[in-house]
Amino acid sequence: MIDPNLENPYYQRWSLGFQRELPFKLVMDVSYVGSKGTNLFINEDANPLVRPELRVTPAGVTTGLTGRLDNLQGARTIRTNGGDSNYNSGQIEVRRRFVNNFTVTGSYTFSKLINNADEVFAVGVATATSVAAIPAVFGGQANERALSVDDRTHRAAFTYIVESPFFKGQQGFLGRLLGGFQLSGVMTFESGVPFTVFNGFDADGIGGNNDRPIFNPNGQRGVRAVPVVDANNFITGYINPEVVIARNAAGAPSAFASIDPNTAQFIVNPAYVAGLPGSVVRVGNHGRNTERSPSVYNTNLTLLKRTRITEKVFFEARAELFNAFNKPNFPSSGSIASSTNALTQGFFLNPDTPSTSRGGRVVRYQVKLAF
């Protein structure tokens, strides 16, 4: 459904930079680049699934109920202008023009992209959803402001072309055999992809299974904290496991120490994600895109041999190596399971999960006759 007051989204972009010629035939370009997106399209759940005490049901009606806020109506996903984005970056590029048989360009970008929604078409990737964890009708859209899935805090790229200085004229058989070689490549380094950790089930009884977990700021690595549940079955906090190591004269605890993480009832076993009874209401406070997949490093190489037959006719052989060093790069969706439910036992946040290709080395050969 479409908001009747839907407007066209728009972007504002601005930049400031300067260029400077440096020694050794180098040119440096330094810039600040920013942009802001306003009235961007997002999806809002206007009639979410809710707990029984939140449902609005006319008196005496007992059939045709949907379990939603308006208990007589079905799903209502509304396209609105509730989205916005902000991008800020510092960029530097150094170029050396093609002289003495080689050219090289290096660039680096330090940036941050913040928004309150990434996905508007609900295409169903593992780490994105088109609606807020807490529906907008309950004020949850404000909790969605975070890093965008498209954020790459650090990105560096280097490109180069090197030609062989030998036998450039390709005279005679030896010149044609040993001349005309060229090596070029692109090296890319960038931060990993931000992704969101989901509970994998409806923990707060509102809006379906887009819930995110509760973050315990005092948690200890390798130790499972104990949730505190009130009389209404709401989690109100955590007790970080401790043991009493001293008591005063009255017998009251006077000193504590962190519990041994190897104690069976508190150890965190990555092959098992423990849960709480379904009756316990958990309103997650963890943000969007708080985790990142491993950083990406990739090198593509091209080796070219051009053999001139006549002034206008030449033969070209090329070998292209994509991901030349065969480095595995793990994307955020597919290779890393991000939902903590029973279906991901043993795979949660495990980059070795064998679910998709990690982009291994690909070699391609090509021959061409130009005339």
Please give the Cα distance from 93 to 91 (Å, whole number). Answer: 7
Q: State residue 163's pLDDT score.
A: 92
**How many of the other CB atoms lie within 10 Å of CB of 31?**
15
**Of 26, 182, 186, 18, whose CA–CA distance to 97 is shortest?**
26
Lookup result for tokens 């887009």: 210
Give 319-358 pLDDT, tens digit per residue: 999 988 888 776 544 334 444 444 444 444 444 444 444 5
| Best CA proximity match to 196, nearest among 102, 121, 130 | 130
CB neighbour list of residue 11: distance below 8 Å, 6 or more residues apart: 35, 36, 37, 38
pLDDT band at 299 (very low <50, low <70, confident <90, very high): very high
User: What's the pLDDT at 127?
Assistant: 52
- For residue 240, the model assigns a pLDDT of 60
Cα(330)–Cα(325) distance, rounded to whole angstroms?
Answer: 15
Length of the chain: 371
Whole-number pLDDT of residue 302: 94
Separation of alpha carbons 176 and 164, rounded Å:
13
Every domain of the chain and the residues it spans: 215-281
Distance (Å, rounded) from C-alpha 71 to C-alpha 327? 52
Q: What does the pLDDT read at residue 20? A: 95
Q: Would you say residue 11 has pLDDT above 50?
A: yes
Query: Model confidence over 117-132: pLDDT tens digits?
Result: 887 775 544 456 788 8
Determine the pLDDT at residue 238: 65
**Is the pLDDT confidence value at 305 over 80?**
yes
| pLDDT exceeds cutoff 50 at 204 | yes
Q: What's residue 179's pLDDT? A: 87
Q: Taking a C-beta distance cutoff of 8 angstroms, is the pair 65, 76 a contact?
A: no
The answer on pLDDT for 209 being more than 50 is yes
Q: How high is the pLDDT of residue 28?
A: 96
Candidate from 91-105, 190-204, 237-251, 275-289 with smallest mean pLDDT: 237-251
Q: What is the mean pLDDT of residues 4-21?
A: 94
The mean per-residue pLDDT over the stretch 155-163 comes to: 95
Q: Are strands 235-239 and 146-147 parallel, antiparallel or unpaired?
A: unpaired
Cα 104 to Cα 44, 90, 99: the distances in Å are 48, 21, 10
Is residue 22 a contact partner of residue 68, using CB atoms and an 8 Å limit? no
The residue with greater pLDDT, 144 or 208, is: 144
List, as own/partner pairs, every contact residues 2-10 make where C-beta atoms lie below 8 angstroms and the sequence separation is at least 24, other chains included: 2/78, 2/79, 3/78, 3/79, 3/80, 3/81, 6/79, 6/80, 6/81, 7/39, 7/81, 8/39, 9/37, 9/38, 9/39, 9/40, 9/41, 9/81, 9/83, 10/37, 10/38, 10/39
Provide the pLDDT confidence category of residue 94 given band limits of 50, 70 and 90.
very high
Gap between the Cα atoms of 197 and 200, Å rounded? 9
Average pLDDT, the chain: 80
Q: How far is Cα 357 from Cα 355, in angstroms, rounded to an integer? A: 7
Taking phi first (over 0 means left), then psi (-120 to 50 degrees means alpha), and beta for anything else, what does residue 71 get? alpha
